[in-house]
Structure 1
Amino acid sequence: MKSAVETLSPTRAKLTVEVPFEELKPSLDAAYKKIAQQINVPGFRRGKVPAAVIDRQVGRGAVLDEAINEVLPKKYIEALQENNLEPLAQPEIEVTKLEDNETLEFTAEVDVKPEIEVPAYDGVEAKVEDLAVSDADVEEQVQALRERFGTLKTVERAAADGDFVTLDLKASKDGEVLEGAEVTGMSYQVGRGGMLDGLDEALVGMAADETKNFSSELVGGDLVGEPVDVEVTVGQVQEQELPEVDDEFAQLASEFDTVEEFNADVRERLTRGKRLEQAAEARDAVLEKLLEQVSIPLPETLVTEELNARRQNVEQQLVYSGLTMEKYLEDEKQTVEEFEADLDRRVRDAVTAQFILDEVAKKEELGVDQQELSEHLIRRAQQSGQDPQEFANHMFEHNHIPDLVQEILRGKALATIVESAVVKDASGNVVELKNLRPDGTIGEPEAEVVAEETEPETAETDEA
């Protein structure tokens, strides 16, 4: 087989492949056997029809078509490997010459990964925000725990902000109650929000057995955004009583005996969380610095596919949230043009980052073992709320494992880049990232092997 490559653009190539007819023979033999199993010819058993008879009955052209369809993918892959091309999409293949018993020639146009020169990433400098846990952060966390252990007491007064009420609610349009827009006996905290615009304002000042009507808009369903009439009736009003923050509460809410130990633990847990947030910020900052140093031509088909996928994802999330695109853009104070420009920029940065990380993974000769793949499968399953075994089976059945391996390699490549970078916080302190554990604690540096200790043994071996 002979192949030649023509560069149509930095991201698109055209392969011209010439296959000698003798290399087509195994596929031709397989084609004859397959067709022999499919036809009935008087005087011959199924599967035992000679090639010459098949040529007369079916036609040599049908056999050649079957053989070519079988051999083309193999020869295309061989040509890619021969010319060191990495395809990014399905090729456009065209048979340009077919001379029976002589030669087969075809072309394949395909988007390919561009040549990438990874900039030096050792010592890349980036800045992140200071890691700070304020007293207000601790108080907010403690308050959340107090509310978790709080109790509700029925009161004989009108509802106020922060109270819990039991309510019946129904929304109607043109006098008809809408399907799915009616609830009974629901517990709701006044001021929490997230249901209907105007509900919290209506509830404030309402007493038990009182009914009030107000106008709002639906936030979900087929009539999302439609104006409706809402009737709400309060069943009872309850006041939340919170425990005092003392040693007894510390023992109730934690493993500690004193409130001082409890508060210290809350601060430490918040610090670990902030440390992980800072590490994520560092990864983004280092990658952004690296992106600023490169200019990589991107295949427009790949960019377009990713743009469409992200657009669809945004639209699905808006539907789940009960928002329209118009409302979303209004809340974000963006025009359609600004949204599209921002999405295009983020997609191009993401594709460029993938190319860079793939090259770093190659350069550093990174690999993925079975345990890493299993842990990644479990993590992905948990993120999507699926059973890990069912998720793994789906990934294997649909050949998505190479994609998962690529995800792991990119993560390891990014970790390698970040660990070799110099990241400082706003105060000028170097941020520890290399020994950061998944729980936000800082581990001990790994023991380094002292080269001198191994040199004498190596020398003796060489002499022997």
Structure 2
Amino acid sequence: MKSVVETLNPTRVRLAVEVPFTELEPNIQSAYKRISGQVNIPGFRKGKVPPLAIDQFVGRPVVLEEAINDAIPKLYGDAVRENDLEPLGQPELDVSELSDGEELKFTAEVAVRPKIEVPEWEGLEVQVDDIEVTDEDVDKRMDDLRARFGTLVGVERAASDGDFVQIDLNATADGEPVEGGQATGVSYQIGKGGMIEGLDEAITGLSAGDSTTFRTKLVGTHDGQEVDCEVTVTGVKEQQLPELD
């Protein structure tokens, strides 16, 4: 087998492979054996059909095609190793027509790992800007750490900014329920945002058991659709932070 590699660009090559017909003989014999076990030819038991009968009733070109399909994966792998390539993905194969007794020729285009030349690191200089940490930065980081270990405690009062509430939602348009516009037992922190426009204003000041309706625009599947949204607060909790010690 002979193989030649052509670089198409830094990440893609084309392999041209030529295989003498004699090297395909094992694949041809295997093809005869497989076909023998698949065809029904009068006068022969399945699996015992001789090559001559297969050539006569099935056709020699069918045998050669079967042999090629069997041989190419290994031939391609041998060519890749022979040329020290690192393929990234499956190749695009192009097989020229094989005439009986003539060599097999095929090409394979495939993406490959690019060769990267790493420069010497000695002598390289790196500039790093000084980091300025303010008291506000420290306080925010400390508050974030405390919030991570905070606990939620139920309260008997109206919800305010920063509280966690348990809510039920029901969106309607012209009095009809909006598909996917209902939710039950949703946990939400007032002031966090990111759920429904106008929700923070609607639930601020509500206590557990209170309900209200507000006008809003939906996002997602019903993006931009104006609906009436009824919200019911079923629970109010405040976050208690651990002591900073």
Q: TM-score, normalised by structure 1?
A: 0.46
Q: Distance in 2 between matches of 1:5 and 1:244?
A: 67
2:156 corresponds to = 154
Q: Distance in 2 between matches of 1:64 and 1:244?
A: 78
* Corresponding position: 1:138 with 2:137: no
Q: Measured at CA, do residues 241 and 165 of structure 1 come closer, stay the same or move farther in structure 2, by a change above 3 Å?
A: closer
Q: Distance in 2 between matches of 1:228 and 1:128?
A: 50
1:277 corresponds to = none
Q: Measured at CA, do residues 22 and 239 of structure 1 come closer, stay the same or move farther in structure 2, by a change above 3 Å?
A: closer
1:238-387 to 2 correspondences below 5 Å: 238=236, 240=238, 242=240, 245=243, 263=245
Amino acid at match of 1:201: E
Q: Distance in 1 between matches of 2:224 and 2:197?
A: 11
Amino acid at match of 2:154: L
2:117 corresponds to = 117
1:62 corresponds to = 62
User: What is the CA distance between 1:136 and its match in structure 2?
Assistant: 4.1
2:212 corresponds to = 212
Q: Secondary structure at the match of 1:38?
A: coil
Q: Distance in 1 between matches of 2:184 and 2:102?
A: 81
1:85 corresponds to = 85
Q: Measured at CA, do residues 235 and 76 of structure 1 come closer, stay the same or move farther in structure 2, by a change above 3 Å?
A: closer
Q: Secondary structure at the match of 1:154?
A: coil
2:6 corresponds to = 6
Q: Is the 8 A contact 2:27 2:68 kept in 1?
A: yes
RMSD between superposed Cα atoms in Å: 3.0
Q: Is the 8 A contact 1:195 1:219 kept in 2?
A: no
Q: Distance in 2 between matches of 1:223 and 1:180?
A: 9
Q: Distance in 1 between matches of 2:32 and 2:242?
A: 86
Identity %: 49
Amino acid at match of 1:152: G
Q: Is the 8 A contact 2:164 2:239 kept in 1?
A: no
* Corresponding position: 1:200 with 2:200: yes
Amino acid at match of 2:46: R
Amino acid at match of 1:30: S
- Point out where structure 1 has 5 or more consecutive residues left out of the alignment: 246-258, 264-464
Q: Relative to total residues, which structure has the larger strand share, 1 or 2?
A: 2
Q: Distance in 2 between matches of 1:101 and 1:201?
A: 84
Q: Distance in 1 between matches of 2:179 and 2:210?
A: 24
User: What is the CA distance between 1:97 and its match in structure 2?
Assistant: 5.2
User: What is the CA distance between 1:8 and its match in structure 2?
Assistant: 3.5
Amino acid at match of 2:228: D
Q: TM-score, normalised by structure 2?
A: 0.82
Amino acid at match of 1:242: Q
1:423-438 to 2 correspondences below 5 Å: none
Q: Secondary structure at the match of 1:141?
A: helix
What whole-Å deviation, never above 9, does each CA across 1:234-276 have from its counterpart, x for those lacking one? 456x46373773xxxxxxxxxxxxx7xxx3xxxxxxxxxxxxx
2:39 corresponds to = 39
User: What is the CA distance between 1:201 and its match in structure 2?
Assistant: 0.7
2:228 corresponds to = 229
User: What is the CA distance between 1:129 and its match in structure 2?
Assistant: 6.3
User: What is the CA distance between 1:164 and its match in structure 2?
Assistant: 4.3
1:180 corresponds to = 180
Q: Size of the alignment, in residue pairs?
A: 241
